[in-house]
Structure 1
Amino acid sequence: MQSPLFAHVEVQDAPPFGLQNDKLLRVVVDGHRDVLARKGSMVAYQGQVEFDGEPHQHGHRRPGREHLDLMRCSGNGTVFFANLAQDVHIVDVDRDGLTVDSSYVLALDTGLHWEVVSVDSQYGIAGTGKYNLLITGHGQVALMTSGKPLMMPVTPDRYVSVDSDAVVAWSTALTVQMQAQTSSSGVWRRRGNTGEGWELNFMGTGFALVQPSELLPPQNAQIGGGVRGQFGMDRPTGGSIFTN
């Protein structure tokens, strides 16, 4: 049998985190290094790999708050992760830390520490419904975007403003301010119908990562739900990757 399909063989690279292609993450587990990944994101694996849906996570869950719904992958082998053909990007986290919209996390090193923080608690705004991860330590995290992202540098003399529905991640060291774009009651945003649109203003030294989409991320899609279902708009209120 012959086909160009047979050219898409496994990439043989050494790093624990690597890209099979721009939409498929390849992670090596070797008995000493586990990986935390988004539940349901495994598309294939080889070797002796175990999947634990209730891992003892290295993150911090505040009492009464949601937590990121992850599974632990351990053993010896190679695991491939993807989520509805979103673009995958590997980021090396250093001592400066990274703040990420939790909707866009595909996988992360177990050596990293993460904490769930809500925007409304950070900025005193009620009802926005947005959750971020504060990721610190040394290790790698795989992020997803809907389309090719834009990396915007932030400097003391050049601050950046981003629509809150398009921002994916930013340097934790940045100063962040949140403000309403409009007071129109007809504005709809994926993180809850607040009656207002929100933007984040970044100041300091670092970067902000933006995706070319303001719609619900495809991980909230419903198969067979039509166009609205593809973007999670027919899901019950409160549906997300978080569980109580």
Structure 2
Amino acid sequence: MEDRYSITEFISASKQSERKQGFFELETPRMLEVNLDGLVWSKAGSMIAYKGQIKFEREGMLEHGMGKFLKKAFTGEGSSLMKANGTGQLYLADQGKKITILSLNNESITVNGNDLLAFDPAINWDIKLMRKVSGMLSGGLFNIHLSGTGLIAITSHYEPLTLFAERGKPVFTDPNATVAWSGGLQPGFVTDVSLKTFLGRGSGESIQMKFDGDGFIVVQPFEEIYLSQQS
């Protein structure tokens, strides 16, 4: 019998790390450990395990104010938040997507609402509506603008790629493959008539995000199709 396939070897290779180096820690590339001593906000349904005394609660309808409640209702936004409060180790994941931890230092970033896994309660956030495309893409698009100082965790299908835009040298992306962009960028939207003709008027590729300014854009090698777009 080969020792490399033994249960002991499997446990040794996959067991939890006890580094506890910070608030957020990558237990694996697709699993986030939160060393909790207080509060953290995370994507609803992302908890896969925990140790310690932790209480979970969905965000209240008006917990973040009437303005954000109305935006969530308007967008039909499906990425509700979950509040975890207590002391212990919390493990989060989202459909096996790769997790990236970012430390904001009085900085800002905008993240696709479906790709935000967790964030420090010290971070300020707001929902940004993409009104111009709400009629083009079924279900529309919503994004979350995060700013301040603290940790956030975002997800992507497979390895993300960061592109850089310059004023006068824009970057164009597929909305369903766009994960995040630097806070100073304001995306526009363009419709490619030739692609519409070639691929059919319902094709997502006919609508592109345009980033014209100084900043970065994070994309993934995957087009994320939301349930509202499939119906």
TM-score after normalising by structure 1 = 0.77
2-structure distance, mates of 1:124, 1:42: 32
Unaligned runs of at least 5 residues, structure 1: 190-195, 221-231, 238-244
Offset at residue 125 of structure 1 (A): 6.1
2-structure distance, mates of 1:37, 1:197: 33
Instruction: Give the RMSD, CA atoms, in angstroms.
Output: 2.5
Residue in structure 2 matched with residue 52 of structure 1 by the alignment: 57
For 1:170, the aligned partner's letter is W
Bigger Cα displacement from structure 2, 165-174 vs 61-70: 61-70
2-structure distance, mates of 1:41, 1:188: 30
2-structure distance, mates of 1:156, 1:187: 31
Deviations 1:4-33, CA, capped at 9 Å, x for gaps: 2332222213210110010000101113xx
8 A contact 1:45–1:80 mirrored in 2: yes
TM-score after normalising by structure 2 = 0.81
8 A contact 2:175–2:207 mirrored in 1: yes
Q: Which is greater in Rg?
A: 2
**Does the residue aligned with 2:86 lie in a helix, a strand or coil?**
strand
8 A contact 1:156–1:205 mirrored in 2: yes
Unaligned runs of at least 5 residues, structure 2: 1-6
Residue in structure 1 matched with residue 20 of structure 2 by the alignment: 13
- Which structure 2 residues correspond to residues 23-172 of structure 1 after superposition, within 5 A? 23-31=30-38, 34-55=39-60, 57=63, 61=68, 63=70, 64-65=73-74, 66=76, 68-120=79-131, 123=132, 126-128=135-137, 129-156=140-167, 158-172=169-183
**Does the residue aligned with 1:61 lie in a helix, a strand or coil?**
helix
**Percent pairwise identity:** 26
**Does the residue aligned with 2:8 lie in a helix, a strand or coil?**
coil
How many residue pairs match? The answer is 212
> Deviation above 6 Å: which 4+ runs of structure 1?
none
Residue in structure 2 matched with residue 210 of structure 1 by the alignment: 219
Deviations 1:179-215, CA, capped at 9 Å, x for gaps: 01333444333xxxxxx72111112222100000114
Q: Alpha carbons of 1:125 and 1:24: their partners in 2 closer, same or farther (altered >3 Å)?
A: closer
Which of 203, 208, 211 is equivalent to 1:188? 203
2-structure distance, mates of 1:140, 1:87: 16
**Does the residue aligned with 1:110 lie in a helix, a strand or coil?**
coil
